[in-house]
Amino acid sequence: MAGNQLIVLNALDVAKTQLYHFTAIVIAGMGFFTDAYDLFCISLVTKLLGRIYYHVDGAPKPGSLPPNVSAAVNGVAFCGTLAGQLFFGWLGDKMGRKRVYGLTLILMVVCSIASGLSFGDSPKAVMATLCFFRFWLGFGIGGDYPLSATIMSEYANKKTRGAFIAAVFAMQGFGILGGGIVALIVASAFDHKYKSPTYEVDPIGSTVHQADYVWRIILMFGALPAAVTYYWRMKMPETARYTALVAKNAKQAAADMSKVLQVDIEAEQEKVDRLIRNKNSYGLFSKEFARRHGLPLLGTASTWFLLDIAFYSQNLFQKDIFTAIGWIPPAKTMNAIHEVYKIARAQTLIALCSTVPGYWFTVAFIDILGRFFIQVMGFAFMTIFMFALAIPYHHWTQKENHISFVVLYSFAFFFANFGPNATTFVVPAEIFPARLRSTCHGISAAAGKAGAIVGAFGFLYAAQNKDPTKTDAGYPAGIGIKNSLIMLGVINFAGMLLTFLVPESKGKSLEDLTGENEEETAETELQNA
């Protein structure tokens, strides 16, 4: 189909890997570094927030966030992200990728800083403003998903397109790792400077006044990497596929890509007009779209939904799993700041050993093995490891088996990232038409965040102990970690089955995948006849 393709788009498809590819990865990737940092750093400080603002005199355990407050603090950013993915995904197709790209970054910088400030000193005021600003932080993060994926897919060549898009998403692993490292540094510094006893020795003295700065600094640090890349985002030209196929400006597309590729490219305005005339008539809610792209959209949305239930619920009650197996000591045996250090250390180790390597395995193999194979394989191994953890769960909780438990848990995370956590991001940026690409990616990503909300809210309750006397303060009895892991195994298996709705996109032009070249062929044959 390359003969029917615009010269400027074919030039992008066959271009050798150049500096602009890596520049685009850095620009878009730093956004995802910030996204992951901001979304996951809250789980590092929720225990500290409980100690500071919900201390109860005489209680045998340190204060903890009430269930409704904890659910709001953990889940509100996901609600904002879902809304941002839908809104900015749609806006990216209406106004252009570049014009919207800077707005999301400004929103992320401002709201990261504001989240750390969280005005007031009463628990109600602090939590209300924290949730308010984290919603809008999530709204900005949501816009980064469809825009970064779409921009990278439309800039990349078809031979290594999967690796480039996956590399952008892989920066999420470094964001999670970065959150843990920043928390380690901040907690270590404050713990060293402001010595305090454990909770069981001195309940009030175990939380020093300066502990209030710890969580604020950790949250506000997320503004830095986003601010650094703003200038470069604004310098990027609009993608040629948007300029030519959506804005219908062949001359501008050719001029922009001539500078990027450093070759002379002919502007084909007549060909653009002919391409646009008939094939861009159907909309997102039309029967034609449903016929052509309905099942693939169902596949990308449903698999991302199921994946994020498992992925985000694991991250959110990760600290509780580490407590259960003894990696994090009982809260009463630590002071407030040292508890942050212990939680951050556990998250950093998991990120370093499984999360980050998993992402980069996907980058290395996605254009060799293909998206479909990696996604099915990832879901399958996640299912196996979840059941391997869940069925003999009592065995893993025994002290001599703790390390083996963590190894299996790390493998589950590894295959989430060398699997569907990366491919569900890549594929929606490839298989939908240019004029609807950002919107459809936003819909798929929003379905994922709906799954994250289910995981964030549902598993805060589900993972609670079956014995009401052993639950966290304010929580009803749950189904326990064992049964929660079994549920995640079933969810992963369903994701594997729904992957069969998603087409393979390895090594194909975006226009071949979406049928845009085929439509032009049909029109050309009709004119010739």
Most confident of 19-28, 72-81, 98-107, 374-383: 374-383
pLDDT at position 524: 45
Is pLDDT at 269 greater than 90 in this prediction? no
pLDDT of residue 279: 56
Q: Is 32 in contact with 356 (CB distance < 8 Å)?
A: no
Mean pLDDT of 348-359: 83
pLDDT for position 192:
92
pLDDT given at position 463: 67
At 374-388, the pLDDT tens digits run 999 999 999 999 899
Query: Mean pLDDT, to the nearest integer, of 61-90?
Result: 90
Residue range 449-456: average pLDDT? Answer: 87
Closest residue by Cα to residue 191 from 293, 401, 337 = 337
Give pLDDT, residue 305.
97
Residue that wins the pLDDT comparison between 71 and 529: 71
| For range 409-438, the mean pLDDT | 91
- Backbone φ, ψ for residue 197 (5° rounding): -75, 170
* pLDDT, tens only, 357-375: 889 999 999 999 999 999 9
Cβ distance 375 to 426 under 8 Å?
no
pTM for the full predicted model: 0.89
What is the band of 302 on the pLDDT scale with cuts at 50, 70, 90? very high
d(C-alpha 499, C-alpha 305), whole Å: 12
In this structure, of 205-219, 299-313, 403-417, the range with the lowest mean pLDDT score is 403-417
Contact 445, 147 (CB under 8 A): no
Mean pLDDT of the 341-347 span = 89
Q: How confident is the model at residue 214 (pLDDT cuts 50, 70, 90)?
A: very high
Whole-number pLDDT of residue 25: 86
CATH 1.10.15.40 fits 15-273+285-518, yes or no: no
Rounded Cα distance between 279 and 307, Å, is 34
- Of 117-126, 310-319, 429-438, minimum mean pLDDT range: 310-319
Segment 169-199, tens digit of pLDDT: 999 889 999 999 999 999 999 999 998 999 9
Q: Is the dihedral of CA 452, 455, 457, 458 positive or negative?
A: positive
Domain ranges of the chain: 15-273+285-518
Name which residue leads in pLDDT, 401 or 77. Answer: 77
From residue 24, give the alpha-carbon distance in Å to each of 17, 94, 367, 438: 12, 22, 19, 17
CA–CA separation, 240 vs 249, rounded Å? 9
Mean of the per-residue pLDDT values of the chain: 86
